[in-house]
Structure 1
Amino acid sequence: MATTRLLGTSDIPAEHWRAAQLIDRTPFIASTFEPRAQASYCMYVPKQHYELPSITSRKLPLIVTIHGSGRRAERARESLVSLADRTGSAILAPLFPTGVGGDPNEAHNYKFLAYRGIRYDLILLAMLDEVAARWPGVATEKVFLVGFSGGGQFALRFFYLHPQRISAVSVGAPGVVTRLDPVVEWPRGIQGVGDVFGGLEVNVDKLKEVQHVQLIVGGDDVENVGGGLLQWLRMRNAMSDPLSQAVGSFQLPNRKEALESLYHEFLGAGIPSSFVVVDGVAHENMKVLPSIIEFLEPFLT
């Protein structure tokens, strides 16, 4: 069966962009790169700023916001719309469903980038290629990556593997941190990365070229990661593949401790980074959001 060509803003007259759902808030669009993942994405493209590329115009910066375990991708997009309007930026919000790869109970797949042959980092790269085709006036070669909780895990690991595609990144309160440690196995450290990701390695020199890494967490985000559910899963030997590899029988540090330790590793490696603690806040995305926006805005204008 013939493949239908993707139509974008360079194909459709500007007066029809809204009717074609190519401007402002888009619906969710299925990603065709890896059907097993059943992934999709939505966009926000501010009409007042978007135009086709020309000698005199600049492409819109692209913010990529990664949802947490609750998969509220649309909410993640909406939380940054005001920032996008102020700065003339576009937003990409992927959606990575649970229950894929043959395990109906699996909920952590995307966080670790590789799950039963599904490469979530490559899915995002394919989404960026689609965005470039539909919206040639959006800059996709380098993006501004944001993630909190489960999204923070994705953002951190994507930063490790593809720093050349990132201008700046905000890593918010990840439950399981991948340390910049070459003697600890992936995903707790970076040993064996090439075996998991087809020869890709973590290149610290490339990490240092990213403009800035924000590591952000609430000051009261000190509860045990996973709580009682993690212990329940351990007792029943019922942890999913990626969670078992990352957690196993280890006692995880709380999010604040883990992120502070990572910050010191980044400092030692010369990676431009900051450690931001939002006082009086627990594991609450919307309450740290103002500090994330404050971090992003200067890079976008």
Structure 2
Amino acid sequence: MIEHRSEPTSAHFARGKTPIFASQYDQRLGYCLYVPENLRTERAPLLVMQHGTERNASLYRDHMAGFADEHQVVVLAPLFPAGIIDPEDLHNFKFIEYQGIRYDRALLAMIDEVSRRYPVDPDVFYLHGFSGGGQFAHRFLYLHPDRLAGVSIGAPGRITQLDDSLPWWLGTKDLEQRFGRAVDLESLRRVPILMVVGDNDVETWEIDNPGEANWMDGVENTGRTRIERLRTLERDFLAQGIDVRFELVPGVAHRGSLILPAVRDFFAGLLQSRSEIHRPTPVTPLRHQE
């Protein structure tokens, strides 16, 4: 017997693991979602999972599906393809701007698009990125701390230090000139921040590559491995009064899926705090006086 659905096909694919949609902001870019089938809240929290160099957006989305069901969040996984304009390019989104594309604005535009279709909170969201995604995540934090309810920075191979004596992207010297926004330390101090990396993440072949498109002389001064470089970033933040939770995950090399338990635990705590803040205060019924 052929099953007939009362809803249109588009409605069926609007929940659960969605297809990859072209962004209306720039159709060279895309995103997919995970939307819990039983989404109950009117302004659901939004969790952005930013891919790295491999562009495995749907895989990161899939890894967070159970978390999304449990915590009633919508997961957005942007897809920023390699090879835009330059067919050999792998690194475009990591440094926020590439060949006139502002990837921070592209992400914010995707969030606006999603908020028009789904009952999500478009004002603030949670962001995780691993490897190249970790590069994007902490640079996005510098530009838009007011939009972040929490950020997880996973194993970036190259960091941008909070140092206005170093040029972008080694530091923040010309940040405002390039992007029209200065670093707002007070806003940064209000964002919960996780830095996470595996304790076996020590290979350097990908991050020690002088002369390639994602290299600037001075990178070597931030540390030999991803662990050392993330520790350098942690010291920068702490020196500026920015609190950081640092997680060194035992037995894990450069594997984004294996650091996700620490990421889930971090976001679960933030979501619990959020739900307590927004929970209605119970009203005690007035008793009639005799």
User: Counterpart of 2:13 in 1: which secondary structure?
Assistant: coil
**1:209 counterpart = 2:199:** no
**1:260 counterpart = 2:231:** yes
- Aligned pair partner of 2:155 in 173, 177, 192: 173
Change in 2 beyond 3 A, CA 1:258/1:227: closer
- Aligned pair partner of 2:247 in 256, 276, 297: 276
| 2:113 matched residue in structure 1 | 130
Percent pairwise identity: 40
Change in 2 beyond 3 A, CA 1:250/1:176: closer
Matches within 5 A, 1:177-196: 177-196=159-178
**1:33 counterpart = 2:16:** no
- Aligned pair partner of 2:97 in 111, 114, 121: 114
1:143 Cα offset (Å):
0.5
> Which segments of structure 1 move beyond 6 Å, counting only runs of 4 or more?
none
1:21 Cα offset (Å):
2.3
| 1:87 matched residue in structure 2 | 71
Counterpart code for 2:241 = G
- What CA distance in whole angstroms lies between the structure 1 residues aligned with 2:256 and 2:143? 25
| 2:283 matched residue in structure 1 | none
Where does the alignment leave 5 or more consecutive residues of structure 1 unmatched?
A: 1-13, 51-56
1:225 Cα offset (Å):
5.2
Change in 2 beyond 3 A, CA 1:250/1:159: closer
- What CA distance in whole angstroms lies between the structure 2 residues aligned with 1:273 and 1:218? 17
User: Counterpart of 1:182 in 2: which secondary structure?
Assistant: coil
Aligned residues: 265
1:219 Cα offset (Å):
0.8
**1:157 counterpart = 2:139:** yes
Which of the pair has the greater relative contact order for Cα pairs under 8 Å at 6+ separation? 1
- What CA distance in whole angstroms lies between the structure 2 residues aligned with 1:150 and 1:273? 20
Contact 2:141 2:188 in 1 (8 A): yes
If the length of structure 2 is used for normalisation, what is the TM-score? 0.86
**1:223 counterpart = 2:217:** no
Contact 1:218 1:282 in 2 (8 A): yes
Contact 1:171 1:214 in 2 (8 A): yes
Contact 2:170 2:218 in 1 (8 A): no
Q: CA RMSD in A?
A: 1.8
1:248 Cα offset (Å):
3.9
- What CA distance in whole angstroms lies between the structure 1 residues aligned with 2:207 and 2:242? 32
Greater Rg over alpha carbons, structure: 2
Change in 2 beyond 3 A, CA 1:29/1:208: same
Counterpart code for 1:27 = P
